[in-house]
A and B are shown apart, each in its own frame.
Chain A
């Protein structure tokens, strides 16, 4: 059992006991100011409110449960319920530790990973058996007691996401644990293999565990002590020995690498099987894996749904459904249902799918649905995605940790599993990282003593200070802060993860550094000094605020008003669009990814789904392959986008790719067209650009080469200018390519502009008025903030082919504007809406208002794919139908235009979606943008996003001056 104090601290902040420990001695006495005392780095994701809530909760429960006890003088102190957890590790040993009952899964997980000295932990997870004896994954963000409802607290540490290419893991120690898992998979029969494979895997196992073949030392029958297969035969053992003899000199790490290289090829590698029945009641198995969902009947694969094929997964009672995007010859999406044994099984399968999809297919986790709006489960995978964890791992620079490959006890026939060897094992694990006894004690997870607490506290404080210092000094810190700000009340899972990261960071620094050196390990320093690689940034949505202003936290209300002062300097940070184009197609950010706005992404997706079989006509396979993959060695494609401003508008234009023939792989996606409304010419250049102004100057800058067309359209009478378009070539990462654009336009004479543009409007949608109501209410209290206006653009193809489409105005107090196209075939339309700062209650009034009273600043960024070009508007086509659908949430209004046209025998469906986000500080535009793109992708997975226009308008408050 822990000591009183340790337990006490855990009671207060179950998810962060380390944190509390540090505080405990002093803070317990004056716990009220505790939140404020939290250094920024710690509190970044956990707002003060939250912690107070915890305390209150604790107190409440305390009152009811142990009210008979005399109240402790320390506020919030109560007798914690300590539970002993037994975790079966991958080598078969048990790890026991005591935790407070309300501890969250993450803490347990972190403790185990720390004890294992495992940094690449995102591939792993903890399982427990439920009442039906079914294995479930522990949700890190939930309290243990809510998950393990009955029985002893027994867990197992397992691989959760099997890396498709283990050679890409950064550390041998990670591969070692993966090997241990796979050995168990093999021996248990979960991972079926042929006799030949059993011998090969077995031989590498022997080599890694026992070293070179040496009959004198090993004894003649050494082999039968180990288990290699579910049904191990003498013959198998002999073959293993035969092979083992040939491995002289092979190191354990090499042997494990070989093991994994063979294991990963097995068809059932990393496939999580679930029993089910199909609609006809036939017994099948559903296998969830990195690439999608596999359907088996017996051992036969009878169907496969790659993630991009799946539009939606859901469950209801004991049914599990997948909604499939229409196939080539089908018109409608179909939903396929499977019967699971019971509701729990259906939910379990659903969760596993959500997690696998997120981990393997997305660049960053999705935010869980907002409470009010969602009906179903709010469960989302909140850990790092594979992309994120790979990036993080690439930063690991600690010397390869020494670890002992314990003879895998669970496979030995002679089981002598007393605790002693296990302890030894753990001590060995800790030796190289822990430099003092206290750490060792802690690492064992047995006890948290007061003694160690004191010491830790000191260390942590230092590291925290360092953390917070960084926050102030490094630009990314601002990003982090921005995130914190943004996610404050919307993304609890993110908070949890961040929190956790922090804990383990602290812990690790405690364990790994010399007693004199405070703070972070090299790895963590690296991580935290780079926004791209910081653990926090990693977990954050890929839309990263680049805003450098530090006042965001403290003065959210003011940060925007300050910006206009130096528009060029500060505003330039407004939007950051990053493309990391890389190529392994199947892993790329995808249509289902929330940020899949880049055309490259689209291509990626197409390759995945349609191009699984690449066309070779007239080409050698090799050359084709090269064309499709930009850089075969590279890992993934990521699209990130950062938008800081609190106000924004976006449009997503989607255009169906009409399959005109065999060539399903269009490489056009590598081209992107960037349109900046209001300049003139379209210039083409190979672009390597990156963002930046400011002090951020750092890792965010990657080079991205692609043909881009910069299109600027001229607004007839605007003063807008695009400036601050900087191009920097980065040498940071040769493998990744990323480009960032920042454009900025400032507009002084808004009214003029509006006047001009109004007349261009063909139709005004009246329906917008009412929809804006809510926005108004939102804004009401924020009259001094800038009001957001919005607008969207449209591309010319669309324009010319169906000019009858209306341009809707999107503001209550808005006058939409449309600027005419430039010489190219593209036009960007922009409408600018204006708002009066003080008052917008009266919708009709506002809507009718044409004269802006406020100077605004607008920014419009258009992303569009080159396909638009190729389609051209040579043939405007025949408009078949047009449809407009509008929907809204509290802060966004989404207007969808669907037009169908026939051009030269090819029907084309174009969906233009405009989303107006009316905002203030309470709205996370970044998230909204991401969400919008994601939704669009999900709703129309067969379509590609060809253009994204982000238009934002910020008021310039009078006191700030204009421009």
Chain B
């Protein structure tokens, strides 16, 4: 586990995708809103810049596709763990086309690509929380049991537990990993309930950090060999109270990224990239570990 934890948050590549103009009008959203595409693109630029320069990742940018208004949210199209990538079957029919480009990109990166072909299965990557030790898959409007089963079959090494998502779009709409063994979670009741379920299902021990705003719990944790814990979070402007909580994380470098426009179409920070560790492969297996607690 030490190795898993040591590797947790280590990435070499990121896959992102441009924002089509159609996002403004056609992208799915849970509540009506006006999206300023120009502003959204500006935010996205900034986001990519952080991945590239601050995190030092090799960023692969897929071109936007006007016929796929939600295509910027690449996370939903693939679940990557180790050297294996599962191409999903997104729950929203309008988004199924997004996986094609994603698949090609992952193959180009020499990943071991597996496709979810079962027509009864749906899975959005946003419903998949990988803790480093196991998977939690939110059963939501977008993800069903069969989708979770296929994921479990692809990532055989790990326990895959299902968690009902009662509110919000995805499981990760209210939680994310804030570090090895640290779950960031929103304070809403559904979020807390989901956390309880995860807690019950898990053989592992996690810390949790509760932030007042559910969406603020969606952060990107990166562990850089030279800089240590880095956390990409929403800006103080959006969630001032939650930021105060995050600031309690010691030894963390907090990096704010504005995500205002994208959140109008339910886009959180993790949604906009697929992070890959090309070096990971099997290296996680090699170091003997010491932290297994049971």
Contacts and interface: CB of A to CB of B under 8 A. Distances in A.
A755 to B, nearest CB: 56
Interface stretch (B14-22, B92-100, B283-291): B283-291
B255 to A, nearest CB: 19
A298 B161 CA distance: 11
A615 interface: yes
A195 interface: yes
Nearest to A289: B203
Interface in B202-237: 202-210
Contact of A196 (B4, B195, B251, B281): B281
A637 interface: no
B69 to A, nearest CB: 32
Interface in B173-209: 179, 181-183, 195-196, 198-209
Given A196-B83, A290-B294, A621-B207, A613 B183 contact: yes
A961 interface: no
A192 B207 contact: no
B53 interface: no
B148 interface: yes
A303 B137 CA distance: 13
Interface stretch (A99-107, A256-264, A798-806, A864-872): A256-264
A300 B203 contact: no
Interface in A562-615: 584-587, 611-615
B201 A301 contact: yes
Contacts of B204: 612
Given A304-B202, A620-B250, A621-B207, A265 B292 contact: yes
B130 to A, nearest CB: 13
A334 interface: no
A165 B292 contact: yes
Contacts of B108: none
B212 to A, nearest CB: 12
B282 to A, nearest CB: 5
A197 B285 contact: yes
Interface size class of A (residues with CB under 8 A): 35 or more
A604 to B, nearest CB: 13
B288 A304 contact: no
B26 interface: no
Given A304-B200, A614-B206, A618-B248, A258 B159 contact: no
B48 interface: no
B207 A616 contact: yes
Nearest to B180: A621
Contacts of B199: 612-613
A613 B207 contact: yes
A291 B248 CA distance: 33
B157 A266 contact: yes
B201 A300 contact: no
Interface string A720-732: 0000000000000
A200 B282 contact: yes
Contacts of A299: 149, 152-153, 156, 160
Most chain A beta-carbon contacts within 10 A, residue among B145, B196, B202, B205? B205
Contact of A298 (B149, B201, B250, B293): B149
A196 B82 contact: yes
A423 interface: no
B205 A612 contact: yes
Contacts of A262: 285
Interface in B247-294: 248-251, 281-282, 285-286, 288-290, 292-294
Contacts of A769: none
B63 to A, nearest CB: 31
Nearest to B133: A265
Contacts of A290: 294
Interface string A154-186: 000000000011010000000000000000000
Contacts of A243: 282
Contact of A194 (B156, B160, B245, B286): B156
A298 B148 CA distance: 10
Nearest to B149: A298
A222 B158 CA distance: 31
A193 interface: yes
Interface of A: 164-165, 167, 192-197, 199-200, 243, 257-258, 261-262, 264-267, 290-291, 297-304, 306, 309, 328, 584-587, 611-621, 624-625
20 contacts: A167-B290, A192-B156, A194-B155, A197-B157, A197-B282, A199-B282, A243-B282, A257-B288, A258-B285, A265-B1, A266-B157, A267-B160, A291-B294, A297-B145, A299-B156, A299-B160, A303-B200, A304-B201, A617-B245, A621-B179
Given A197-B285, A264-B292, A302-B162, 7 more contacts: A194-B156, A200-B285, A258-B286, A265-B157, A309-B200, A613-B206, A616-B209
